[in-house]
């Protein structure tokens, strides 16, 4: 079952957070910009902008020098690690930074592959972004491994869990699965999949890129072996984050240059990191802490298992999840009223606990690109195509036919913005 224990019974109204996002002051064709490409990347709060520029003013240097700016850089990296550890509920030594999720997955999968043998198996899914499929296929090709791909039920775009259970056997070494879909929004029961993986002696690799902006993550409760996410999808700068159980990070043999540290977790961080963005990530955590503190003072205790910043961040993500469910209900209801519109995946406003507020839709006689262009003219940013969820879009017959229009909400969006979007789509449906 999905963990809903952190969600307060009464959803808070988070629309006040928009004041922290200066990019919403932009206008397009005389109208306030509406940002619905959140699965592609979110906007950042002022705290991120300030922390990034302060890095350049007061700390810009390489690491481990004897001088002040270098030492400030070392401190910022250590603080960013412990901030991410608080968000994911792990030790700072289990956090690895990299340019993005894709690069981290290619790098770690290659290190993992060093210890795999021909005939070993990897389980992937049709629902996943290609960044959680292609790296595993690449090591399979290099090492003579077998990849088993778990299918979906195309009517609901949910994973076939019977097939998943059957695919995980004593030959399985890695189960690679997404926490939430970047195309259709489905949340997977990753806790159950981790249990099945461990029962078979396999490890679980969770792609949490699309879940991290929408709900609380606890890697200890999930007991996953690895979990990857991207800060730019949860109101931070363009960088990737990997959680790995310490025992794995110590055992694996990373590809690295000789003079670089062989300590965990630094041994996986090849070359110079984007220090200014790690400073920016601290701004993200400050912002989320602010949301958590505001809500903690106003509402009931929803994260009593945690303390300090971990607790505040859990409260923030619980509040975000609760508010977004109200947005999802509103969006799904509004979309159901547009004639001839097809929505892929979980459709019912009663199913919002099983999805994040990301939907893929099509209309007859209009290509997804044409719909995205109409929205763009109205100041609404939304993406069209396959969003690299290639297997899924092929399975749904949407590729190679232009994919679908994606509308992806975040906690700073409002029902008024949904109304404006629905107006454009209704007009397109009639035209
Ligand atoms: C579910 C999912 N996984 C992985 C990625 C790749 O992330 P990155 O751009 O950090 O490599 C994305 C990007 O959209 C995604 O949505």
CATH number at residue 26: 3.90.1150.10
> Are 207 and 147 in the same domain?
yes
The reply to whether ligand 1 has any atom less than 6 angstroms from the CB of 210 is yes
Are 81 and 201 contained in the same domain?
yes
C-alpha angle 81-277-209 in degrees, rounded to nearest 5: 70
Q: What is the pLDDT of residue 303?
A: 76
Quote the pLDDT of residue 113. Answer: 98
Residue 291 lies in a domain: no
Q: Which two tokens stand for residue 202?
A: 């396999």
pLDDT below 70 — which residues of the chain?
1-9, 297-302
If asked whether residues 36 and 55 sit together in one domain, one would say: no
Alpha-carbon distance of 401 to 344, in angstroms, equals: 15
Domain-embedded: residue 117? yes
Q: Are strands 34-35 and 380-381 parallel, antiparallel or unpaired?
A: parallel
Cβ atoms of 332 and 24 closer than 8 Å: no
What does the radius of gyration of the chain's CA atoms come to, in whole angstroms?
21
What's the confidence (pLDDT) of residue 5? 47
Together in a domain, 336 and 350: yes
Nearest to 299 by CA among 316, 287, 284: 316
Quick one: pLDDT at residue 256? 95
The reply to whether 122 and 229 lie within a common domain is: yes
Q: Decide: helix, strand or coil at residue 188.
A: coil
**Is the same domain home to 154 and 255?**
yes
Q: Tokens representing 424?
A: 């454009």
Say whether 291 sits in a helix, a strand or coil: helix
Decide if 387 contacts 302 (C-beta within 8 A).
Answer: no
Do residues 121 and 78 both lie within one domain?
A: yes
Q: Determine the distance separating the centroid of ligand 1 and the alpha carbon of 39, expressed in angstroms.
A: 9
* CA of 391 relative to ligand 1 center, distance in Å: 15
Kindly state whether residue 297 falls inside one of the protein's structural domains.
no
Establish if 10 belongs to a structural domain.
no
* CA pair distance 15, 36, nearest whole angstrom: 15
pLDDT tens string 298-309: 544 567 788 999
What tens digit of pLDDT does each residue of 146-167 get? Answer: 999 999 999 999 999 999 999 9
Residue partners of 251: CB distance under 8 A and separation at least 6: none
Three-state DSSP class for residue 132: helix
Count of the separate structural domains present in the chain: 2
The residue with tokens 């070359």 is 271
- CB contact at 8 A, 325 and 11: yes
Residue 9 CA to ligand 1 centre (angstroms): 31
Which of 135, 184, 388 to mutate for ligand 1's pocket (most ligand atoms within 8 Å of CB)? Answer: 388
Q: Which residues contact 51 (CB under 8 A, 6 or more apart)?
A: 279, 280, 282, 283, 286
Q: How far is the CA of 273 from the centre of ligand 1 (A)?
A: 19
Please state, in angstroms and as integers, the Cα–Cα distance from residue 376 to each residue in 291, 341, 425, following that order: 30, 19, 12
Whether residue 203 is contained in a domain is answered as yes
Q: Give residues with Cβ within 8 angstroms of 221, minimum separation 6.
A: 3, 89, 191
Q: Which residue has the tokens 């950042």?
A: 44
Strand 342-344, strand 358-362: pairing: antiparallel
Separation of CA 409 and ligand 1 centre (Å): 16
**Residue 11 confidence (pLDDT):** 80
Tokens of 205: 């690799």
- Asked whether residue 79 falls in the same domain as residue 210, the answer is yes
Positive or negative CA dihedral for 235, 238, 244, 250?
A: negative
Q: Enumerate the β-bridge partners of residue 384.
A: 405
> Phi and psi of 38, rounded to 5°?
-65, -35
Could you say which of 228, 261, 283 is where a domain stops? 283
Q: Do both 37 and 84 map to the same domain?
A: no
Among residues 20, 73, 66, 18, the alpha carbon closest in space to that of 277 is found at 73
User: Quick check: is 292 in a domain?
Assistant: no
Q: Check whether residue 22 and residue 64 sit in a common domain.
A: no
Q: Are 181 and 406 in contact, with CB atoms under 8 Å apart?
A: no
Q: What does the DSSP 8-state code read for residue 366?
A: B
Q: Which residue among 283, 302, 335 closes a domain? A: 283
Structure tokens at 323: 């508010």
Q: Are residues 255 and 335 in the same domain?
A: no
The token pair at 10 is: 């009464």
Contacts of 85 (CB under 8 A, 6+ apart): 91, 92, 94, 95
3-class secondary-structure state, position 122: strand
**Any ligand 1 atom below 6 A from CB of 100:** yes
Which helix H or strand E contains 153, and what residues bound it? strand 152-153
Give residue 399's domain range: 15-44+313-430
Q: Is the distance from the beta carbon of residue 163 to the nearest atom of ligand 1 less than 6 Å?
A: no
Give domain status of residue 237, yes or no: yes
The residue among 283, 300, 325 that closes a domain is: 283
Q: Distance between CA 210 and CA 215 in Å, rounded?
A: 10
Pocket of ligand 1, candidates 98, 108, 129: which has the most ligand atoms within 8 Å of its Cβ, to mutate? Answer: 129
**Do 40 and 62 share a domain, yes or no?**
no
Provide the pLDDT for residue 298. Answer: 56
Q: Tokens 């003219």, residue?
A: 377
Is any ligand 1 atom within 6 A of the Cβ of residue 406? no
Question: Which residue in 295, 281, 203 sits closest to 235, CA to CA?
Answer: 281
Please check whether residue 268 lies inside any domain of the structure: yes
CATH number at residue 227: 3.40.640.10
Q: What is the pLDDT of residue 2?
A: 38
């Amino acid at each position: 079952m999905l963990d809903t224990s952190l969600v307060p019974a009464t959803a808070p109204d988070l629309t006040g957070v928009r004041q922290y996002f200066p990019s919403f002051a932009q206008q397009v064709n005389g109208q306030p910009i509406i940002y619905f490409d959140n699965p592609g990347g979110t906007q950042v709060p002022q705290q991120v902008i300030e922390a990034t520029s302060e890095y350049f003013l007061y700390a810009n240097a390489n690491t481990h020098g004897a001088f002040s700016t270098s030492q400030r850089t070392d401190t910022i990296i250590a603080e960013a690690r412990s901030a991410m550890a608080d968000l994911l509920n792990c030790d700072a030594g289990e956090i690895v930074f990299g340019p993005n999720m894709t690069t981290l997955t290619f790098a770690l999968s290659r290190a993992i592959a060093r210890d795999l043998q021909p005939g070993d198996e990897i389980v992937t899914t049709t629902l996943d972004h290609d960044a959680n499929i292609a790296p595993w296929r690449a090591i399979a090709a290099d090492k003579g491994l077998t990849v088993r791909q778990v299918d979906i039920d195309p009517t609901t775009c949910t994973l076939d869990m019977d097939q998943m259970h059957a695919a995980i056997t004593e030959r399985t070494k890695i189960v690679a699965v997404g926490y939430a879909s970047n195309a259709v929004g489905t949340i997977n029961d990753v806790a159950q999949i981790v249990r099945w993986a461990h029962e078979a002696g396999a490890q679980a690799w969770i792609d949490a890129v699309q879940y991290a902006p929408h709900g609380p993550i606890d890697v200890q409760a999930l007991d996953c072996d690895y979990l990857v996410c991207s800060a730019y999808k949860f109101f931070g700068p363009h960088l990737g984050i990997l959680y790995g159980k310490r025992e794995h990070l110590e055992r694996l043999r990373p590809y690295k240059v000789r003079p670089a540290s062989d300590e965990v977790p630094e041994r996986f961080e090849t070359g110079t990191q984007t220090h200014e963005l790690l400073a920016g990530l601290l701004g993200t955590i400050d912002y989320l802490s602010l949301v958590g503190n505001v809500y903690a003072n106003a509402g009931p205790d929803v994260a009593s298992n945690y303390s300090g910043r971990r607790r505040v961040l859990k409260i923030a993500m619980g509040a975000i999840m609760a508010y977004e469910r109200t947005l999802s209900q509103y969006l799904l209801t509004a979309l159901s009223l547009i004639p001839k519109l097809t929505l892929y995946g979980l459709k019912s406003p009663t199913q919002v606990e099983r999805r994040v507020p990301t939907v893929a839709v099509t209309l007859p006689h209009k290509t997804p690109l044409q719909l995205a262009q109409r929205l763009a003219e109205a100041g609404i940013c939304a993406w069209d195509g396959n969003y690299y969820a290639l297997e899924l879009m092929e399975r749904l017959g949407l590729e190679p036919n232009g994919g679908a229009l994606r509308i992806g909400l975040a906690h700073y969006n409002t029902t008024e913005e949904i109304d404006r979007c629905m107006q454009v789509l209704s007009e397109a449906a009639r035209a």
